[in-house]
Structure 1
Amino acid sequence: MTAPFFSPSFQNQLEQLLIWRRDVRHFRTTPLPTPVLDELLETACLAPSVGLSEPWRFVLVNDSRRRDAIRQNFMRSNTQELEGREGKDAERYARLKLAGLDDAPHHIAVFCETNPKQGRGLGRATMPQTTTWSAVMAIHTFWLAATARSVGVGWVSILNPQEAHAALSVEPNWQFLAYLCVGFPEQHANTPELERRGWEQRNPARRRWIQR
């Protein structure tokens, strides 16, 4: 089988895709067209996984009561985070918008089945965390596919995992990884919002490689 040829133009577009992928907090409330979300999830499942275990588990959260439980979880967790900061750091934190839970039309929780039968344990004996990493790869694949369609994704990480797990009533052996807000963004940007708001800057030193 002949491998496809990816032209320099495509390579440049791929780099632009990575540059324009953003953690979105400001959404339009308009839902995505019906097939789009399914297509994005199907693309996410093309992600690599240890032993071909495909341990990711996507949960579409449509029920208003479950969404409200997640929202309350975020508010409690965010308050605790703010109380743990002092001075200007607390002031800067308080000004940040850290979730798009109210406006994003679609909510997706992502779990990992950490010890799935599929894959028969290949590659996990010495590094069992590889199933978790594989599920995170699926999140990133979903994110890039969404960006390519001008769809925004926001990862809400300020949550109590145990409470989120309980609120969504999933299998007890699934590990909660992420809660994603999904929808059309209010605006597009090629720089992180945290950078634009002065919270942090990219470090050029992180683009250097260590050789041994």
Structure 2
Amino acid sequence: MTIKFNTAIKAAAVAAALVFSSVSHAAINVSEMSHDDAFEYANFDASFFGEPFGTTITPWKLSGDVNTLAFCIEPGTPADFQANYGGALVHPGSDIAALYETSYSKVLSNGVYNAKQAAAFQLALWELLDNKDFGTGALILPATGGLAADNDLVAGYAYSMLGDALNYHGTAASYVYTEYTAAGSQSLLGVSAVPEADTWAMMAVGLGLVGLIGRRKSEKSEKFA
């Protein structure tokens, strides 16, 4: 089998990137999305984890060793931007995975961030994490009564997302999930897309090339020793 030089280099680069990305996250910077990307949600009939709720929803941006969007999974815990975060791979419940499979693309569509969809996604995620039953009246996310503009619209988006998650029966395999935690600060959940099959093939070729290069260097070193 022959492979073009440019393709080989690309394969090696993909392989190296994936290898280095698997290293534990040692330097993670956290910040909220900019004010323009935030969404004011205030409905004092809403309650998550048993606490009254009204807030500005601003998903987190993580940067440093990682570069991703993350959502809060502990609304009752204050956020500390000076905290030292670390990341670990997790396997979320099937309902959380279904929410990501059906609705995360509405938040980031071809790299374009949608603040209202992000706010709705955060509300739906909190609802699921609070283990409320679908469609039984047990949901504590009010459909109406929002105090700010478009609050009820966003609540409607969230209900739609919850319904899509409930009705999802596919294979949850589009994302890899990472939970980011820090002492004294709320925990976050971020995802990265699972590489396509051709990317995996390219990675395998790249790893082989990296190994081949390493072996040749070793052989040359032995010859000149």
Shorter-chain TM-score category?
Answer: under 0.3
Q: Considering only CA atoms, is the larger Rg found in Structure 1 or Structure 2?
A: 2
Structure scoring higher RCO (CA < 8 A, sep ≥ 6) equals 1
TM-score, scaled to structure 1:
0.25
TM-score, scaled to structure 2:
0.24
**Higher strand proportion, which one?**
2
